[in-house]
Amino acid sequence: MIFLLFLAAQASAVPAPAAAAVAEQTQFDIRCMLASQIASESSEGAEKVGLTLATMFYFGRVDAVLSGDPLAQQMEFEGKAIEGRPLGPLLQECGEFMKRRGEAMQEVGGKLDAREKARQLR
């Protein structure tokens, strides 16, 4: 509840549908951060590295929206929501989201490269 009030205060100038989307995305990001961290504790080698990187990816996203007590409270809430559930399906969703974000970043990089090449041809 405190999380939603915090987001409402942060997004007071943002239309309601956009604020709801931010809250929903942040909830997903926190669950992915927690699931990746939990899974990394029982992993080794490259899998552990990948899960640790996923944890940091999602922490960066969450940290841009929440910090301090509101973050701790929301992490506790989301931790209870995923407790006892199989992590595989959630981790799959998290990985697919990361893949889409990576593809978007590559697309932006490709556009920047094309602009630079066009500028050099002038």
Instruction: Give CA 73 to chain center in angstroms.
Output: 17
Neighbours of 28 (CB within 10 A): 18
Local confidence band at 9 (pLDDT 50, 70, 90 cut-offs):
very low
- According to DSSP, residue 83 is labeled T
Whether 1 has a pLDDT exceeding 50, the answer reads no
Rounded Cα distance, 106 and 73, in Å: 35
Specify the higher pLDDT residue, 61 or 11.
61
Range 55-89 burial, b when 16+ CB lie within 10 A, else e: bebbbebbeebbeeebbeebbeebeeebeeeeeee
What are 78's two structure tokens?
């989301």
Whether 5 has a pLDDT exceeding 60, the answer reads no
* pLDDT given for residue 15 in this prediction: 63
> How many helices and strands in the chain, by DSSP H and E?
5, 0
What are 64's two structure tokens?
């841009």
pTM for this model (two decimals) = 0.79
What are the tens digits of pLDDT across the range 42-64? 999 999 999 999 999 999 999 99
